[in-house]
């Protein structure tokens, strides 16, 4: 049994929740409120678990702490290889990882909560500039992914072929966040077709922010 330190609307934690649900792995959910009391990720109790002060963290039954969503997903894939989150074919595998990394490594780090907090609290940019910053980096990546998918003759219901891969986990979590920031998704029909297909699947639904115990009765 795993323990997942998570926040309902954390993009990175959302990816890991989908992987756990997809593989049918049981976990207990420990909420880390990134907003309350200056952010519980900075509290001593959590810093002992993850000195990076980020969610997610996944603790194994043996007490090993795993951090970084893509590293956690790699671990789950190695230890619980079926159902797989990476294609068998090396080229398809590289393509799935490339899409995942375009989102998780090139986009999300520019837009995560600590960066947005720094922009507003330290550099004093206003809400409109923050919104533009957020949308700019999402649009930069999504424009290129949309082109990539449009040109891919092998594309099925998912980013790579007809099976769920790590790319879809990253896509769905990033689209959720982009919708929260009201980024216009109409230029991305291929990405949205995949997203809309994914979010009807049982394991994506179970992992969604709305299904988490810390999802608030009213959101802002």
Ligand X SMILES: N[C@@H](CCC(=O)N[C@@H](CS)C(=O)NCC(=O)O)C(=O)O
Q: Which residues bind ligand X (CB under 6 A)?
A: 10-12, 34, 39, 41, 53-56, 68-70, 104, 112-114
Written as six digits, the tokens of 92 are 């398809």
Pairing of the two strands 65-67 and 57-59: antiparallel
Query: CA-CA distance, 74 to 81, in Å (whole number)?
Result: 10
Report the residue number, 72 or 190, with the smaller CB distance to ligand X: 72
Minimum CB separation of residue 157 from ligand X in Å reads: 25
Query: DSSP 3-state assignment of 57?
Result: strand
**Please, what sign has the CA dihedral across residues 176, 178, 179, 181?**
positive
Report the residue number, 66 or 190, with the smaller CB distance to ligand X: 66
Report the residue number, 41 or 139, with the smaller CB distance to ligand X: 41
Query: CA-CA distance, 14 to 208, in Å (whole number)?
Result: 7
Taking a C-beta distance cutoff of 8 angstroms, is the pair 22, 83 a contact? yes
Minimum CB separation of residue 34 from ligand X in Å reads: 5
Report the residue number, 147 or 211, with the smaller CB distance to ligand X: 211
Minimum CB separation of residue 52 from ligand X in Å reads: 8
Report the residue number, 31 or 190, with the smaller CB distance to ligand X: 31
Minimum CB separation of residue 58 from ligand X in Å reads: 10
Report the residue number, 154 or 179, with the smaller CB distance to ligand X: 179
Query: Which residue number is nearest to ligand X in terms of Cβ?
Result: 114
Minimum CB separation of residue 118 from ligand X in Å reads: 9
Minimum CB separation of residue 114 from ligand X in Å reads: 3
Query: CA-CA distance, 141 to 127, in Å (whole number)?
Result: 22
Query: DSSP 3-state assignment of 195?
Result: helix
Query: DSSP 3-state assignment of 100?
Result: helix
Query: DSSP 3-state assignment of 109?
Result: helix
């Amino acid at each position: 049994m795993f323990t997942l330190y998570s926040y309902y609307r954390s993009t990175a934690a959302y990816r890991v929740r989908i992987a756990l649900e997809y593989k049918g792995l049981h976990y207990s959910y420990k909420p880390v409120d990134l907003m309350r009391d200056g952010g519980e990720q900075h509290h001593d109790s959590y810093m002992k678990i993850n000195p990076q002060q980020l969610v997610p963290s996944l603790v194994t039954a043996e007490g090993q702490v795993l951090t970084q969503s893509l590293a956690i997903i790699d671990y789950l894939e190695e230890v619980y290889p079926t159902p797989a989150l990476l294609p068998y074919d090396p080229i398809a595998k590289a393509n799935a990882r490339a899409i995942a990394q375009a989102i998780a490594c090139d986009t999300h780090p520019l837009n995560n909560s600590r960066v947005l907090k720094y922009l507003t609290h330290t550099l004093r940019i206003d809400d409109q500039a923050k919104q533009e910053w957020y949308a700019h980096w999402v649009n930069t990546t999504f424009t290129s992914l949309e082109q990539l998918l449009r040109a891919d003759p092998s594309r099925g219901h998912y980013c790579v072929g007809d099976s769920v891969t790590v790319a879809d986990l990253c896509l769905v979590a990033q689209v959720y966040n982009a919708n929260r920031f009201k980024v216009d998704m109409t230029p991305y029909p291929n990405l949205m077709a995949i997203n809309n297909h994914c979010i009807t699947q049982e394991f994506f639904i179970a992992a969604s922010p709305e299904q988490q115990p810390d999802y608030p009765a009213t959101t802002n």
